[in-house]
Amino acid sequence: MDSFLKIRGLNKHFGDKRVLDGIDLDVAAASVTTIIGKSGIGKSVLLKCIANLLQPDAGTIELDGQAISQSRRNAQSDAGVSFSYMFQNNALFDSLTAFENVALPLCEASKLNKAEIEERVDEMLVHLELSDSADRYPGELSGGMKKRVALGRALITKPQVVLFDEPTTGLDPERKFSVFEMIVDYRERFGFTALLVSHDIPEVFEISDRVAWLDEGRIKFFGKPEELNTDAQSALSGFLSKANYGRKSSLMNGANE
């Protein structure tokens, strides 16, 4: 498998705490890769290092064979950006309508004119089935709709890689499923490479081409989801069984309420 996004020896520490300690990761083009691991283990930190929101202490990130430096990434703004980031809490702007939120990256950081932007955003809203809510503010939208607006904003710049930071947190099981469907659906339609951080085990495996298990600052397992069960590592199976248990109990709590 040739890697589209190639990460080598990524280090990041906060104070005395080494959060990332030599991360190596290869992500194939147009694939869905999911990073799993305990809460607070550094999954979001890894994602933010890739998105350049955090500066890694050491290591390289290559996209399509080219090293990514901050300057190059910031320079890319007209044709489309390399990376988009979908935040856990959507990070939509309350004072802008759904339309304006989706149009924001184009209005502020592209050379497109107003008519072109409108056309592209309208098209995106049709895809996302949000045309009726274009003029509504995030506060007036349901959780699922907000997710779709955030996805629209992430995709409007035609990114090569989309980073999803826990896209399904805080959604009910049905919505979770529709968000996963959405990711798969749009991946096929727009052809981006997806990198997910998720706690929704095992549902997320259904849409993942590869799974990476992050523990103690390193990728301890990387492979197809099917290989997970046959893996001999006891720590990973321990984590997985706990994750499954946690999911079941939370489902049962949900049913009791």
Partner 1 sequence: MSVVFDLGEISLFGWGALRGFFTQRGRLAKLTLGIHEIGVRCFPIIATVGLFTGLVMGLQLYYTLVKFGAESALGTAVALSLIRELGPVLTALMVVGQAGSAMASELGIQRNDEQIDALQTMSIDPLGFLVGPRLVATLICFPILTAIFDLIGIFGGYLTGSVLLNVDSGVYWNRVFESVTWADVQGGYIKALVFGLLTISICAYRGYNTHRKASFPGVRGVSESATRAVVWSSVTVLAADYLITSFLM
Residues in the site for partner 1, rule: CB under 8 A?
A: 48, 51-53, 73-74, 76-77, 81, 83-85, 87-89, 91-93, 104-105, 107-109, 153, 157
State in angstroms the smallest separation of the CB of 144 from partner 1.
18
102 versus 201: smaller Cβ distance to partner 1: 102
53 or 67: whose CB is closer to partner 1?
A: 53
Q: Which of 189, 196, 171, 180 is nearest to 126 (CA)?
A: 189
Q: Shortest gap between Cβ of 42 and partner 1 (angstroms)?
A: 16
Least gap, CB of 221 to partner 1 (angstroms):
28
* Buried-state track 32-61, b at ≥16 Cβ within 10 A, e below 16: bbbbbbeeebbbbbbbbbbbbebebeebeb
Nearer to partner 1, 83 or 180 (CB): 83
Nearer to partner 1, 155 or 228 (CB): 155
Tell the smallest beta-carbon distance from residue 81 to partner 1 (Å).
Answer: 6
